[in-house]
Structure 1
């Protein structure tokens, strides 16, 4: 759902699924739009939302399906960085592997069976 106000000061919400407008009272409109507006502004500050003003009524805070969503300042773990010697490595290379080694699991299983 998204919200839009027309010139006659009627408060309306646009429902994407049915592609129709629904009249609402001012209190509901204000509460609903406050959340959407705050979320969209936060996304715009980080370059993740490039929604034009004429399409803001379509905003439902679902950036995964929005055609105006961008990566912004989010970087992937595949992002590569260069050290002073020109060698490149991804951030994923620096993450420790926290999964238990197969040998350790086998030892623990044998120990449990022995006990």
Structure 2
């Protein structure tokens, strides 16, 4: 009978000390709800490989867990696919240089200036294009016929390509 009482009493298992701490049902449920959320997130990213039979041991503290892995997160401690473990070089190889960003910004400003020369409603057109509207919707907003606006935009795009160089 004493064994049945011990099984029905909710507890929290602390993996670090191996203790089973008696708690109320509400405390138990709240603790393991958060631990499950953390474990699910870690499993989705391939960082938790805890076997199902030991899930009751999971307390959501992944740092010292024997079943915690690197997963899809780059780390300075874990070698990358090319064998290096230098996170800076891995990320910086794909990042644009500051010069590229500045050159793109200058080009964009030149394109906007040319569009403003070609059409007095350029600022509105730029804003509507930035909002993802189609040429038809932009033509409606400007009060122009769709075909006329499409022909104008074709001409504008040809002019803007000259600035870009292709």
The TM-score with structure 1 as length reference comes to: 0.56
1:1-115 maps to which residues of 2 (within 5 A)?
8-76=7-75, 79=80, 90-94=90-94
Partners of 1:33 and 1:23 in 2: how far apart? 14
2:132 equivalent in structure 1:
none
Of structures 1 and 2, the one scoring higher in RCO (CA 8 A, sep 6+) is 1
Partners of 1:97 and 1:79 in 2: how far apart? 22
**Structure 1 pair 96/61, CA: closer, same or farther in 2 (3 Å)?**
farther
Q: What stretches of structure 1 move > 6 A for 4+ residues in a row?
A: none
Structure 1: any 5+ residue segments left out of the alignment? 1-5, 82-88, 99-115
**Structure 1 pair 17/94, CA: closer, same or farther in 2 (3 Å)?**
closer
1:102 equivalent in structure 2:
none
Listed one character per residue, the Cα deviations across residues 20-73 of structure 1 (whole Å, up to 9, x for unaligned) are 212211111111111001110111111110001222233232222111011222
Partners of 1:24 and 1:49 in 2: how far apart? 26
Partners of 2:74 and 2:30 in 1: how far apart? 33
Give the root-mean-square deviation of aligned CA atoms.
3.3
* Secondary structure of residue in 2 paired with 1:66: coil
**Structure 1 pair 30/74, CA: closer, same or farther in 2 (3 Å)?**
same
**Structure 1 pair 60/46, CA: closer, same or farther in 2 (3 Å)?**
same
Q: How many pairs are equivalent? A: 86
The farther-off stretch of 45-54 and 15-24 is 15-24
Q: Using the TM superposition, give the Cα deviation of residue 15 of structure 1 relative to its aligned residue in structure 2, in angstroms.
A: 2.6
